[in-house]
Structure 1
Amino acid sequence: MMNESMYGNAMWSGHWLWTLVVAIVVVPVWQICRRTGYPGWLGLLMLIPMVNLVLLYFIAFADWPAHKAGTGNE
Structure 2
Amino acid sequence: MQGLRDELCVAKTLCLAHKFNGYIHLKTIPGASAELMQEAGLYADRLSVNVESQAAYSVFAKTLLEIFDGKNG
Normalised by the size of structure 2, how large is the TM-score? 0.26
Tell me which protein shows more helix as a share of its residues: 1
The structure whose Rg is larger is: 1
